[in-house]
Amino acid sequence: MNISEQRGQKRRGVWRSTKLLGRTIWTAYNRFGHTGTPLMAAAIAFYAIICLGPIGILMSALLQILFGEGSNTYQWLTDTVAEYGDVAAQQVMSQVDGLLAQPDLFTTSALSVVALVWASLRLFETIERSMTQIWPGTILRGFLGRKLVALVMMGLAGTLLTGFVIANAFFARLYGVLRQFPEIDADAVMQAQPRIMSIVGLLLALVAFNLLYRHMPVQKVPRRAALAGAVCAAVLWQAASRVFLYFISHSAHNNAIYGGLAGVVVFSLWAFLGGQILLFGAHFAAAFQEMFLGEKQSGFTPEQPDATQK
């Protein structure tokens, strides 16, 4: 086989892969639009909003344990939300600040644990039901199975979020340490922080989406399909974050319309958009499994009542 024939085969292979990718995107988009995705995304957004306050309180308490009582842990958490969250999350975090200022912090933390566990269980159970509809053919897990999977995923999500906040807090402490060494340009190191944290955030999002697509559905999802869906969702997440932040930062009429509820409304919109991205990535993974791996899905059927549902 000469060089021209090899190049011809490569071009045909690239063209075939491109067509398959286009069909995968179209199939995912078509199924995304013909299922109950908006309703499930709204449910995901609802439980995400409930989780936000307790997460802020517990993360602040955890950072105090790790870095000491005298450390400015809440400021680190707020800076992380301000830089990598959105304007709405910053406004909601001000309510967390008020809760942390209460004298009975132990009671507040205990109630936060209860609220977080309840909302997180419902959140991941909603995600599981959505994933099972996307990969059809198997009924839902039993009651205890759903709770166990939700608890495990809640722990993994908390670990990833904690790691991201601690990594951001690490740069705040690193700057003070580097300033003690005149031969090191501390400002240059800190200027690289946004890029480094953006990469870290992308990798954590990729890991989180991959875990959800791989283990949340009742059906067995191939690793390549789960990874493909995770890449799709992570890229969409990063792109949507930048567009959404630009839109919110250039909108001057949010408070005029919703008043003090503007932060909650905008964060609800962002959580809803995030839920749709999560579900579209799952549809993409299912379509990738069918197109590239040759595993035909059994079709999308309305959800049947689950005898184990309680």
Instruction: Look at residue 68 and tell me if it is in a domain.
Output: yes
Examine the pLDDT at 25 and tell me if it is beyond 60.
yes
- Asked if the structure places residue 114 within a domain, the reply is yes
Kindly give the residue spans of alpha helices, DSSP state H, lying in 35-104. 37-67, 73-84, 87-100
Assess if residue 254 is contained within a domain: yes
The dihedral over CA atoms of 269, 270, 274, 280, expressed in degrees to the nearest 10, equals: 50
In a domain, 264, yes or no: yes
102 close to 108: Cβ distance less than 8 angstroms: yes
Residue 28 has pLDDT above 80, yes or no: yes
Assess whether pLDDT exceeds 70 at residue 200.
Answer: yes
pLDDT band at 174 (very low <50, low <70, confident <90, very high): confident
Check if the beta carbon of residue 124 is closer than 8 Å to that of residue 216.
Answer: yes
Burial class of 2 by CB neighbour count within 10 A (0 to 12, 13 to 18, 19+)? exposed
pLDDT at 304: 42
Nearest of 22, 69, 51 to residue 126 by alpha carbon: 51
- Check whether 57 has a pLDDT greater than 70: no
Residue 27: per-residue pLDDT = 92
Sign of the four-CA dihedral 256, 258, 259, 260: negative
Q: What is the pLDDT of residue 146?
A: 82
| Position 303 confidence tier, pLDDT thresholds 50, 70, 90 | very low
Q: Which residue has the higher pLDDT, 204 or 306?
A: 204
- pLDDT above 60 for 301: no
Q: Which residue has the tokens 């001057």?
A: 252
Q: Is residue 228 part of a domain?
A: yes
**What's the structural domain count of the chain?**
1
- For residue 189, what are the domain limits? 37-291
Structure tokens at 65: 């344990």
What pLDDT sits at residue 269?
A: 85
Q: What is the pLDDT of residue 255?
A: 61
**Neighbour count for residue 154 (Cβ, 10 Å):** 18
Determine the pLDDT at residue 284. Answer: 95
Structure token pair of residue 74: 């809440």
pLDDT of residue 250: 66
pLDDT given for residue 116 in this prediction = 74
Most confidently modeled range among 123-127, 297-301, 306-310: 123-127
User: Could you report the per-residue pLDDT of 201-214, keeping only the tens digit for each?
Assistant: 888 889 999 999 99
pLDDT digits (tens, 9 = 90+) for 234-287: 999 988 888 877 777 666 565 666 666 667 777 788 889 999 999 999 999 999
On whether residue 132 sits in a domain, the answer given is yes
What's the farthest any 2 CA atoms get from each other in the chain?
Answer: 79
Is 217 a member of any domain? yes
66-80, 117-131, 195-209, 287-301: the lowest-pLDDT one: 66-80
Q: Could you give the CA distance from residue 44 to residue 120 in angstroms, rounded to a whole number?
A: 10
Distance (Å, whole) CA 4 – CA 73: 62
| Residue 285: per-residue pLDDT | 94
Q: Which residue has the higher pLDDT, 190 or 160?
A: 160
Would you say residue 1 lies in a domain?
Answer: no
> pTM for this one?
0.76
